[in-house]
Amino acid sequence: MISTVLPTYNRAPLSFEKGEGAWLVEADGRRFLDLGAGIAVSALGHAHPALVKALTEQAEKLWHVSNLYQIPQQQKLADQLVDATFADTVFFTNSGTEACELAVKMARKYWFEKGQPERVEILTFEGSFHGRSAAGIAAAGSEKMVKGFGPIVGGFTHLPFNDLDAVRAAASDKTAAIMIEPIQGEGGIRALPDSTLKALREICDDCGALLILDEVQCGMGRTGKLFAYEFAGIEPDIMMVAKGIGGGFPLGAVLAKEEAASGMTAGTHGSTYGGNPLACAVGSAVMSEVSTPEFLAEVSRKSALLRQGLEGLVATYPDVFAEVRGSGLMLGLKCVPACADIVAKGYDECLITVPAADNVIRLLPPLNLTDDDIAEGLARLEAVAKKASG
Ligand SMILES: *Cc1c(COP(=O)(O)O)cnc(C)c1O
């Protein structure tokens, strides 16, 4: 008989009752060090006082009104995001894949309004992940995600990872946009070189296409910059954000330049929940914490500390860990044994990591984990490596 919860997930046999900072606690009191943060979502760890305060204060006042009315909390968060980024305007969603839906619609509507309705093609990349909506799976295009779900949304052309010649050959006056993650998350923590992002910006400028960055996983301070595009010294036209922005409350956003957003006039898009008072009160509190230079500098410092330890593990246990990848606190360990086994051995050590494609385990800890948490995480990873070695 089918389980009462639709059985689409392969869940680990773990169940947490509460969280404190970078720690998750089971009902029996077992404490797990959380280096996954619910897949890069709990950017400030669990039960952060500022987020609890923002949530409970708002909860006592007003949860939801719909976008039929003004939402001051939404206005405030939009202002914060616009102040801190390339963007002139923001639309709030409830998830990353909804941000993908709007990014695709926005790019196509832009060309429609420019009198080029046939300009619908979006270039995307092998190994990418943009969520599980109809446009999200079409954008990523992997066999695993689209199989059985046809007809698949058209107009996406899938190109090899980090192959600029392929992009140049594919880009044309039919290209509406290029959509790409600066660092692939689900794909196995595969970072694009800054030079590639720069070149993609140039290709877009040459053919007129819009550059859409998917920073759902790598954004909101995770790399040590508020957004990863800053490393390359370029700006996108449209950017998808989610995961960390709500710190655990479901929230996403599409950020855009005024020109790229020019087709999205009243009535062209909407969401019942998107940007509701509760979500935006929390989002605002997250932004206030993660967007300061001091916080971002700490992310970089902690990244160096963690990374140094991980490099040590690769050197000591080359039959378990092959390579460290990624940036900031979005790090990956390429495994020699099956990465699922390494994640499971982590559970035995009360350590949470997240598997990804390309046989990589992801370390996506709360951005405010402590130096002691890092030391503890490295010790537990070493215990895992010892058990998996030889
Ligand atoms: C998680 C993720 C998404 C989808 O976000 P959901 O909130 O699960 O819909 C899209 N893009 C990237 C890069 C992601 O990591």
CATH number at residue 377: 3.90.1150.10
Same domain, 56 and 101: yes
Query: Is residue 222 in contact with ligand 1, taking CB distance under 6 Å?
Result: no
Residues of the domain holding 378: 16-47+293-389
Same domain, 67 and 153: yes
Q: Which residues have C-beta within 8 Å of that of residue 299, sequence separation ≥ 6?
A: 221, 222, 223, 224, 328, 329, 367
**Binding-site residues from annotation for N(2)-acetyl-L-ornithine:** 132, 271
Same domain, 159 and 142: yes
Has residue 14 got a pLDDT over 90?
Answer: yes
Q: How many domains does the chain have?
A: 2
Does some domain include residue 261?
yes
Where a domain ends, among 256, 290, 324? 290
Same domain, 34 and 63: no
Does some domain include residue 6?
no
Q: Provide mean pLDDT across the span 264-286.
A: 98
Mutation probe of ligand 1 site: the residue of 41, 129, 213 with most atoms within 8 A of C-beta: 129
Where a domain ends, among 271, 290, 309? 290
Same domain, 34 and 157: no
Does some domain include residue 166?
yes
Q: How far is the CA of 390 from the centre of ligand 1 (A)?
A: 36
Where a domain ends, among 233, 267, 290? 290
Has residue 268 got a pLDDT over 90?
Answer: yes
Same domain, 227 and 179: yes
Distances (CA, A) of 336 to 3, 185, 319, 388, 390: 34, 19, 6, 10, 11
Q: How far is the CA of 328 from the centre of ligand 1 (A)?
A: 19
The CATH number given to whatever domain includes residue 209 is 3.40.640.10
Same domain, 25 and 159: no
Does some domain include residue 8?
no
**Confidence at residue 284, expressed as pLDDT on a 0 to 100 scale:** 98
Q: How far is the CA of 127 from the centre of ligand 1 (A)?
A: 13
List alpha helices for 62-142, DSSP H.
Answer: 72-84, 96-113, 134-140
Tell me the whole-structure pTM to 2 decimals.
0.98
Does some domain include residue 344?
yes
Does some domain include residue 71?
yes
Same domain, 235 and 324: no
- pLDDT tens, position by position, 223-245: 999 999 999 999 999 999 999 99
C-alpha 287/C-alpha 241 separation (Å) is: 12
What confidence tier does 52 reach under pLDDT thresholds 50, 70, 90?
A: very high
**Confidence at residue 390, expressed as pLDDT on a 0 to 100 scale:** 79
**Confidence at residue 238, expressed as pLDDT on a 0 to 100 scale:** 99
**Confidence at residue 226, expressed as pLDDT on a 0 to 100 scale:** 98
Does some domain include residue 348?
yes
**Confidence at residue 79, expressed as pLDDT on a 0 to 100 scale:** 98
Helix, strand and coil in the chain, % to nearest 5: 40, 20, 40
List alpha helices for the chain, DSSP H.
Answer: 37-40, 49-61, 72-84, 96-113, 134-140, 143-146, 164-170, 194-207, 229-232, 277-290, 293-316, 339-348, 371-388
Same domain, 253 and 328: no
**Binding-site residues from annotation for pyridoxal 5'-phosphate:** 96-97, 129, 214-217, 272
Query: Is residue 181 in contact with ligand 1, taking CB distance under 6 Å?
Result: yes
Query: Is residue 219 in contact with ligand 1, taking CB distance under 6 Å?
Result: no
